[in-house]
Structure 1
Amino acid sequence: MSLLKRVGTIYLPVQHVRNAAVWYEEILGATINHEDEEKAIVDLADQSFFLVKSLPGETLNFKDYQGHNRFAMTFEVDGLKRLEEFRDLLLKKGVTVGHVENRGHAGRNVVFEDPDGNRFDVWSELSPDFKRRGSRESF
Structure 2
Amino acid sequence: MGEQLLRIGTTYLPVTNVDISSDWYVNKLGAELCFKDQDKAILNFANQSIFLVKSNENQSSNFYDIYGNERFSITFEVNGLKALEVIHKELQQSEIRVGYIEDRGHSGRNFVFYDLDGNKFDVWSELSPSFREKYLISNG
TM interval, shorter chain, is: over 0.9
- TM-score if structure 2 supplies the norm length? 0.94
Q: RMSD between aligned alpha carbons?
A: 1.3
Q: Which position in structure 2 is the counterpart of 1:117? A: 118
Query: Which segments of 5 or more consecutive residues in structure 2 lack a partner in the other structure?
Result: none
Cα drift, residue 30 of structure 1: 0.2
Q: Is residue 67 of structure 2 the alignment partner of residue 66 of structure 1? A: yes
CA distance in 2, matches of 1:47, 1:15: 21
Q: Which position in structure 1 is the counterpart of 2:5? A: 4
CA 1:134–1:31 in structure 2 vs 1: closer, same or farther (change >3 Å)?
same
Q: Which position in structure 2 is the counterpart of 1:28? A: 29
CA distance in 2, matches of 1:76, 1:26: 20
Q: Is residue 19 of structure 2 the alignment partner of residue 18 of structure 1? A: yes
Query: Identity over the aligned pairs, expressed in percent?
Result: 49
Query: Which segments of 5 or more consecutive residues in structure 1 lack a partner in the other structure?
Result: none
CA 1:110–1:135 in structure 2 vs 1: closer, same or farther (change >3 Å)?
farther
- TM-score if structure 1 supplies the norm length? 0.95
Cα drift, residue 2 of structure 1: 5.3
> 2:80 is matched by which residue type in structure 1?
G
* Matched residues, number: 136
Q: Which position in structure 1 is the counterpart of 2:57? A: 56
Cα drift, residue 132 of structure 1: 1.2
